Amino acid sequence: MEEEKIKTRIRFQKIGAAAFISHLDLMRTLGRALSRAEIPAAKTNGFNPHAYISIPCALSLGYEGTREMAEIGLPPGFDPASIPERINPVLPRGISVTEAYPIQRKSAEIAFAEYDLLLEGGGEKGARASALLSTRPLVVMKKSKRREEETDIAPLIRRVEPTGQGFRAVVACSASENLNPRLLGDALKKLAPEEEFRVRLTRRGRFFDQSGEEEFR
Tell me, what's the pLDDT at 179? Answer: 95
Class level of CATH domain 110-207? alpha beta
- What CATH fold (topology level) applies to the domain 6-104? Alpha-Beta Plaits (3.30.70)
Q: Mean of the per-residue pLDDT values for the chain?
A: 91
Write out pLDDT tens, residues 118-160: 998 877 899 999 999 999 999 999 887 788 899 999 999 999 9
Tell me, what's the pLDDT at 46? Answer: 79
Instruction: Say if CB 11 and CB 100 are below 8 A apart.
Output: yes
d(CA 131, CA 162): 9
Name the pairing type of β-strands 64-74 and 199-207: parallel
Tell me, what's the pLDDT at 105? Answer: 87
d(CA 188, CA 129): 7
Nearest to 57 by CA among 142, 171, 187, 212: 171
Q: What is the pTM of this model?
A: 0.90
pLDDT grade for 175, boundaries at 50, 70 and 90: confident
Provide the residue ranges of all domains of the chain, joining segments of one domain with +.
6-104, 110-207
In this structure, the chain runs to a length of: 217
Tell me, what's the pLDDT at 210? Answer: 62
Tell me, what's the pLDDT at 216? Answer: 64
Write out pLDDT tens, residues 62-98: 999 999 999 999 999 999 999 999 999 999 999 999 9
CA distances from 211 to 60, 112, 159 (A): 23, 9, 8
Fold: same for 6-104 and 110-207: yes
| Half-sphere exposure in the Cβ direction for 134 (13 Å, CA) | 10
- For residue 36, what are the β-bridge partners? none
Torsion angle of alpha carbons 79, 82, 25, 18, nearest 10°? 150
